[in-house]
Structure 1
């Protein structure tokens, strides 16, 4: 294992250029008030927020379309309505226990991983050795009533990841979890400036969430479709599988000699990384980026998905309190973080309207007001991204290279 970064590890500008209007760390009181911003920051925040509203509506429409078949089936089959309500009551009960070991049981066996060289574009981008890895998931649905159905997803139950490795043995490893619909390795490598981190001495692993990329079932209209196709109960199981399969990835990394692992993720990946930090104690650092932490509340503003959720609740005679209680099953706010406070860093965009900064601030409060960095952009346009990449680099260096 490498104990110190190479001498040429000075950060370089990321390959995707963004405007350089800097953000900052939050103060003891939290995120800045509008009057505390410069005129440039106000301009970026306001314009990026307007742009995010259009993106939010588009994504809400996509998610809503995924929910429609399930809702139509529920309307025609009363038994389906009862099953959905029973499932939500099951997850609400699990959430109330606040027991991560029970809600998210650990894998009991080491995955049998197969590897093959990635395509030449990936190796060109990394300037190093890149492998695609895969293994069969041993996940069983947390809710016994869902197990047979979830086993039927053959493609989803094969885990995929891409591994950037140095030739001189295992290095401290930065794991990255993508956002909803954003599973392409090339896109994430560029967006997260992973060549920067690879050059700084990290091995890098890009983890593919359930129902995304090669895990999408045949006939899926887009990457990520399966996350919402089985309703709220299906979303709960997708989150449970995302955590479980990533813990199998951790088992694999440990088996290959990696003993220092940091985790970051964007949007849905930020949500997942924050949840994993409350379930597994093997992370040296965790950095959720523009995370949602209460998706049931965030959906209230996601038209037209919000309308469909309300309609679905009416069909299944599910009140909002039960939905919130069930959603708490996979919320990081339901579990105490197992990563020490000085190894937690949250990143948020003040102009974000898909994962509003208030969501990140709730996580910050739950995480004992740990390190918290903001930038003036939105969910996709991370204005002054070099600023927070340097913040991440400084934050992880003393933990990952000792």
Structure 2
């Protein structure tokens, strides 16, 4: 019995071998006529314009699928002991979240953002020689899980995660300008890549925008140097919920800082995990100039279920854990909130 349990939690060789072919297959399936028509009907019901198929759309979907394939290749499922810990934390969290009223009123789980009072701005010197005026905005993230909540002590132990950060391109004049706040995806947060993905140079130098790119929790400099035991998004349910909650809080604090700079307008754009974060923020913040979600995740429990090995996915124990995870994730799900920003923006 023990061997069987271990076998179910270790990576299946077939899962890794098929990761890349499966990513290509799912990308193609996404644009198949039947899938496209189904998405179009969803957009119509929501009174939203349905995006037409394009090479850019194919590239974006493929990039997202390749990231998921990369997880299969580089990350192993939790061990038996880890699964037992996760299950116990989830069971305790369900009781606690119900008692606190967070499941009934997800907004009450989120605390109000504040303007960082210890924010510092320093030039990124390695880019100055290339004519790019990148700066780094840093401040202390004031978000921590409620003391005593399942997984709270572990999340608070990620010391490098306490320091929030954002890359910034800002004009030196005091002229009111549009601020484009851009939120990266999973395993991103690196200036070299993110400025290309979001076309930051064009936004700043051609369109005259100030650019701010916040760094999400447990990414890049906010991740432990050895990266052991940490990562986000993650199958570790409470870490994932805490990561999403802190992501929304840190981005909202960044928006509060931007508001102090007297912008002419502010937009929020996110890619993948960043798109999820942007959508969540849109449900918590006052209306923004625009909110754009690029290939956003919308349901992490379902994403995790799809990426779980078949031997585990259809077990009764995993089904129970999935349902409990789905309920807990409702407090950090964009689908639990009505966006404050009008859809036409």
TM-aligned CA deviation for residue 61 of structure 1: 4.2
For 1:314, the equivalent position in structure 2 comes to: 317
Give the structure 2 partner of residue 250 of structure 1.
Answer: 255
Aligned to 2:72: 60
The answer as to 2:104 corresponding to 1:134 is no
Aligned with 2:81 (options 63, 68, 72)? 72
Match of 2:14 in 1: none
Between the two structures, name the one with larger relative contact order (CA 8 Å, sep ≥ 6).
1
Distance 1:73 1:136, change over 3 A: same
Q: Distance in 1 between matches of 2:177 and 2:60?
A: 37
Would the aligned equivalents of 2:330 and 2:336 in 1 still touch at CA under 8 Å? yes
Indicate whether 1:97 and 2:109 are aligned: no
Change (3 A) 1:310 1:207: farther
Structure 1 match to 2:201 = 195
Q: Tell me how far 1:260 sits from its aligned partner.
A: 2.1
1:98-138 superposed Cα distances (whole Å, 9 cap, x missing partner)? 442x12111356331112101333673xx553211111111
Q: Residues 239-298 of structure 1, C-alpha deviation per residue, up to 9 Å, x if partnerless?
A: 111111112212222223335211001000000000000011152210010001112123
* Structure 2 Cα separation of the partners of residues 179 and 123 of structure 1: 28
Distance 2:285 2:237 in 1: 24
| Residue pairs, 1:3-402, within 5 angstroms | 28=44, 55-62=67-74, 64-65=75-76, 67-68=77-78, 71-75=80-84, 81-91=87-97, 96-100=103-107, 102-108=108-114, 110-121=116-127, 124=130, 127-142=131-146, 144-145=148-149, 146-169=151-174, 170-198=176-204, 199-220=206-227, 225-228=230-233, 231-258=236-263, 260-281=265-286, 283-304=288-309, 314=317, 318-343=320-345
Contact 1:98 1:335 in 2 (8 A): no
Kept in 1: contact 2:106–2:332 (CA 8 A):
no
Structure 1's 128 and 46: CA in aligned 2 closer, same or farther, altered over 3 A? Answer: closer
- Asked if the contact 2:167–2:191 (Cα under 8 Å) also holds between the matched residues in 1, the reply is yes
Instruction: Give CA deviations for 1:340-366 in whole Å, capped at 9, x if unaligned.
Output: 2221xxxxxxxxxxxxxxxxxxxxxxx
* TM-score, normalised by the number of residues in structure 2: 0.74
205-214 vs 149-158, greater mean Cα deviation: 149-158
CA deviation after TM superposition for structure 1 residue 202, in Å: 0.6
Residue-pair matches, total: 300
Q: CA RMSD in A?
A: 3.6
Map Cα deviations across residues 177-209 of structure 1 (whole Å, 9 max, x no partner). Answer: 100001111211111111111120110001100
Give the Cα–Cα distance (whole angstroms) in 1 for the partners of residues 161 and 311 of structure 2: 28
**Is the alpha carbon distance of 1:47 and 1:209 closer, same or farther for their aligned partners in structure 2, counting shifts above 3 Å?**
closer
CA contact (8 A) 1:92 1:327 kept: no
Indicate conservation of the 8 Å contact 2:116/2:139, yes or no: no
**Cα distance, 1:149–1:59 mapped onto 2, change above 3 Å:** closer
Rounded to whole Å, the distance in 1 between the matches of 2:179 and 2:169 is 9
Distance change >3 Å, CA 286–CA 49, structure 1 → 2: closer
- On the 8 A contact 1:266/1:289 being kept in 2, the answer is yes
Q: Specify every segment of 5 or more residues in structure 2 that has no aligned partner in the other structure, as ranges.
A: 1-35
Shift in Å, 1:301? 2.5
2:58 and 2:180 mapped to 1: Cα distance? 33
Does the CA-based 8 Å contact 1:180-1:267 persist in structure 2?
yes
The alignment partner of 1:342 has SS state of: coil
CA contact (8 A) 1:273 1:287 kept: yes
Q: Encode CA deviations 1:295-347: one digit per residue, 9 max, x unaligned.
A: 2123332254x766777x827x934322221122211010010112221xxxx
Whether the 8 Å CA contact 2:122–2:137 is kept in 1: the answer is yes
Give 1:149 deviation, angstroms.
2.8
